[in-house]
């Protein structure tokens, strides 16, 4: 006797599983300008590298003779693959089956998260689902009598058929069961993925998520609780609960895109890091993000083959900072002059725009680069910019990316709106994140360095050098903002108050210059020497971070 029948059933389940929700379900998916989950996986990973796990999980139906006669695949696929030759684990929601809402078979595939942690490889979540469903309580025969989700018929590889048997058994109506898979879970288990990305000892592997459809409930939480998240501009939404529940709870009629589109979550709330033009772009961004990070916290970030002169000196750096303090400059262009050419990947470009956060490479080594943008809110640290600062530093510290801070900050944002947004608390949290980080941290003081915002430049124990350009200046607050408060009587009593104000400002600005206060930095450098300084720093940082490998444990709480 052989086990050929069982092997044939297994092969048949896998074949039917590859059909996903069938022709009708796939057509609905494509009508919404969305790819199927298997097309997404093919775009994301190296060709031929996907090794599916849990491929036979689903709702199977057998006849009295034990023959497989019907099968509905789980609405999730999971497995291992490679990106640029490096192993990853992934899980993707299949919206073509029950709208991607939770079922017991799909929940079983969440074990891939634990396996990713056990193997110490990055975890990728391709999200496109409705989260929990009332059908998990009602079973496939809901109280109104409507039949449940269809299955593929083994006897006919055409459209799926509706199964005739009902779930549950007499006397057990309160605990619906599928005879072939056991009790349904009462709650979806998303906590492991959340802990993998959290700031504790379980933050051991990179977690990246892509919002590729309408995501609600625990799926929306998984999207937010990641080291990197991206959503598609026109075809994805994110919310705690969708329009039907919003209508029931607060009596508001609203379209799902208005409720949770990218304008809300990438620009206003900061829940999502980046926005993609289409699904291919979203998956490309995940590949790019992971290319800068190690597979886990026990390994060094991967170095790319350097293709740029480490001693390159850009003449434009000598004149990039204008003498007129009211003039601005292009910070992204400046960054391009000091890091490896074509090596930047910006994180959260639409949120907290007074601050720029990028992954980049210097001499091939990955770095976390932070810079103030004087073209946005004058470069002042807003509440959103502080949140962005804190989150980015934590990720850099967790995965041992040396931090480079190009500083031109006039202080924290002030005014009524800034107070309403709790800028003080977010400012303290950002400064606390910097002080807690143990990763090497280099600051280049380019121009302004004022107020409590100086906490963004790390000092104290550890490898935290600070350099300054001749254009740098520092103080408790910029002269332009404090002269009228400190010298009001003198200015108002002068024959020409405006001339007196300018004279006092010029005198105080001269005193604030790093040329008068060289103790502000370890060394004052020619701006054109900035790239060689960065290269020297990053090379030296490798020995330091090699001694810091492993999880970063953060004790206590931030303000």
pLDDT, tens digit, 9 for 90 and up, residues 183-223? 434 334 445 554 555 544 458 999 999 999 888 888 888 88
Residues 490 and 525 in one domain: no
Residues 328 and 245 in one domain: no
pLDDT category, 427, cuts 50, 70, 90? very high
Read off the pLDDT of each residue in 301-316 and give the average, rounded to a whole number: 95
The verdict on residue 340 lying in a domain is yes
Read off the pLDDT of each residue in 351-363 and give the average, rounded to a whole number: 97
pLDDT category, 138, cuts 50, 70, 90? very low
228-260 burial, b at 16+ Cβ within 10 Å, e below that, comes to: bbbbbeebbbbbebbbeebeeeeeeeeebbebb
Give 151-193 pLDDT, tens digit per residue.
555 554 444 433 333 222 333 333 333 434 444 343 344 455 5
The verdict on residue 554 lying in a domain is no
pLDDT reading at 333 higher than 50? yes
Yes or no: say if 260 and 305 are a contact pair by the CB < 8 Å rule. Answer: no
Distance CA 431, CA 451 (A): 12
Q: Report which of 287, 416, 252 is spatially closest to residue 359, judged by C-alpha positions.
A: 287
Read off the pLDDT of each residue in 479-492 and give the average, rounded to a whole number: 59
Distance CA 40, CA 78 (A): 12
Q: Say which CATH number the domain at 528 has.
A: 3.90.226.10
Yes or no: say if 536 and 402 are a contact pair by the CB < 8 Å rule. Answer: no
Read off the pLDDT of each residue in 128-151 and give the average, rounded to a whole number: 50
The verdict on residue 556 lying in a domain is no
pLDDT reading at 132 higher than 60? no
Backbone phi and psi for residue 233, each to the nearest 5 degrees, phi listed first: -55, -50
Give strand pairing partners of 87: 82
pLDDT category, 407, cuts 50, 70, 90? very high
* pLDDT, averaged across the chain: 82
pLDDT reading at 241 higher than 90? no
Residues 210 and 64 in one domain: yes
Residues 153 and 215 in one domain: yes
Read off the pLDDT of each residue in 455-477 and give the average, rounded to a whole number: 87
Residues 237 and 316 in one domain: no
Q: Are strands 355-362 and 365-372 parallel, antiparallel or unpaired?
A: antiparallel
Q: Report which of 360, 340, 225, 388 is spatially closest to residue 291, judged by C-alpha positions.
A: 360
Q: What dihedral do alpha carbons 207, 212, 217, 221 form, nearest 10°? A: 20
37-41, 380-384, 408-412, 504-508: the lowest-pLDDT one: 504-508
Domain that holds residue 123: 4-291
Distance CA 425, CA 383 (A): 8
Q: How many domains does the chain have?
A: 3
The verdict on residue 552 lying in a domain is no
pLDDT category, 366, cuts 50, 70, 90? very high
């Amino acid at each position: 006797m052989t086990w050929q029948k069982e092997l044939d059933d297994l092969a048949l389940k896998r074949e039917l599983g590859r059909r996903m929700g069938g022709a009708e379900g796939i057509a609905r998916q494509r009508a919404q300008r969305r790819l199927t989950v298997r097309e997404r996986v093919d775009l994301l990973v190296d060709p031929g590298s996907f090794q599916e796990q849990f491929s036979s999980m689903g709702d199977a139906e057998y006849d009295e003779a034990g023959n497989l006669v019907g099968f509905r695949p789980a609405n999730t696929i999971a497995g291992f693959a490679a990106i640029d030759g490096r192993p990853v684990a992934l899980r993707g929601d299949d919206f073509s089956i029950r709208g991607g809402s939770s079922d017991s078979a799909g929940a079983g595939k969440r074990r891939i998260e634990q396996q990713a942690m056990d193997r110490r490889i990055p975890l990728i979540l391709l999200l496109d689902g409705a989260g929990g469903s009332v059908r998990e309580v009602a079973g496939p025969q809901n109280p109104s009598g409507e039949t449940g989700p269809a299955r593929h018929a083994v006897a006919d590889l055409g459209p799926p058929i509706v199964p005739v048997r009902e779930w549950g058994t007499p006397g057990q109506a309160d605990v619906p069961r599928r005879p072939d898979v056991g009790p349904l879970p009462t709650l979806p288990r998303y906590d492991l993925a959340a802990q993998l990305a959290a700031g504790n000892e379980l933050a051991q592997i990179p977690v990246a998520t892509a919002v590729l459809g309408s995501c609600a409930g625990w799926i929306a939480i998984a999207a937010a609780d990641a080291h990197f998240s991206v959503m598609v501009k026109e075809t994805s939404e994110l919310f705690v609960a969708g329009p039907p529940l919003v209508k029931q709870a607060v009596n508001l009629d609203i379209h799902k895109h208005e409720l949770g589109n990218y304008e809300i979550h990438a620009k206003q709330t900061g829940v999502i890091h980046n926005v993609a033009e289409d699904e291919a772009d979203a998956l490309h961004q995940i590949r790019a993000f992971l290319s800068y990070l190690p597979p886990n916290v026990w390994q060094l970030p991967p170095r790319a083959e350097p293709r740029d002169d480490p001693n390159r000196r850009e003449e434009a750096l000598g004149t990039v900072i204008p003498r007129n303090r009211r003039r601005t400059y292009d910070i992204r262009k400046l960054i391009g002059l000091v890091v490896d050419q074509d090596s930047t990947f910006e994180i959260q470009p639409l949120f907290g725009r007074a601050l720029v956060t990028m992954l980049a490479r210097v001499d091939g080594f990955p770095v976390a680069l932070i810079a103030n943008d004087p073209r946005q809110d004058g470069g002042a640290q807003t509440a959103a910019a502080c949140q962005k600062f804190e989150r980015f530093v934590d990720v850099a510290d967790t995965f041992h990316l040396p931090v480079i801070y190009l500083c031109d900050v006039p202080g924290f944002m002030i005014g009524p709106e800034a107070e309403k947004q709790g800028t003080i608390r977010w400012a303290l949290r950002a400064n606390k994140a910097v002080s807690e980080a143990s990763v090497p941290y280099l600051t280049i003081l380019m121009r302004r360095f004022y107020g409590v915002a100086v906490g963004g430049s790390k000092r104290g124990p550890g490898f935290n050098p600070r350099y300054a350009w001749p254009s740098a200046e520092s103080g408790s607050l910029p002269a332009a903002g404090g002269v009228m408060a400190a010298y009001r009587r003198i200015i108002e009593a002068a024959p020409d108050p405006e001339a007196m104000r300018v004279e006092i400002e010029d005198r105080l600005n001269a005193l604030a210059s790093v040329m008068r206060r060289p103790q502000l930095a370890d060394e004052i450098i020619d701006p054109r020497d900035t790239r060689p300084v960065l290269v020297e720093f990053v090379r030296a940082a490798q020995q330091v971070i090699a001694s810091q490998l492993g999880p970063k444990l953060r004790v206590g709480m931030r303000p």
